[in-house]
Amino acid sequence: MKAGDFALPINAIALLCTLTACGARAHIDARNPALTLAPTCADAVPVYSSSADVPYDYYEVALITAEGNSVYTGNGDVLKSVRKQAASVGANGVVVDPLHATHATVKILGAVVGGKDAERKARAVAIWMPSDTARVREACSGK
């Protein structure tokens, strides 16, 4: 075998990754119908690891789930996607469950060749804190 013999499979993997959107994706699973808020910006959406860490009283706005392939997506990418979805529904914070990822080498290798079993997954509750609107206005000004 020559070095060039592996060019096609590597290019095919890169193309597969591009076509299947290897980045993190998040979507809203449920939304609080009693709250209709203006969208904010992702910069105004801090991440809290538990409801006890939230500094103000809040209302739950939406339930968000996110996932991304562990090979191509880090926890930061997943959280960025969650924050963006939360901002789209007017939230100014998210309470995130611990992020989960499979780490078995076999699963990661499977993901590289097109499997879907090496995933990072997150669940979060988008929240709205009425007392935190001044910070949000400042964080989102000009965006």
Task: Provide the residue ranges of all domains of the chain, joining segments of one domain with +.
Answer: 22-140
CA distance 129 to 36: 14
DSSP secondary-structure letter at 55?
A: S
Q: Which CATH number is 22-140 given?
A: 3.30.110.70
pLDDT at residue 54 above 60? yes
The pLDDT tens digits of the residues spanning 22-48 come to 567 888 988 999 999 999 999 999 999
pTM above 0.75, yes or no: no
Q: Is pLDDT above 70 for 84?
A: yes
13-36: b or e for each residue (b if 16 or more CB lie within 10 Å)?
Answer: eeeebeeeebebbbeeeeebeeee
pLDDT digits (tens, 9 = 90+) for 86-119: 999 999 999 998 765 555 444 444 444 455 544 6
Tell me the longest C-alpha to C-alpha distance in the chain: 66
Given 3-state DSSP classes, what are the helix, strand and coil percentages for the chain, each rounded to the nearest 5? 40, 25, 35
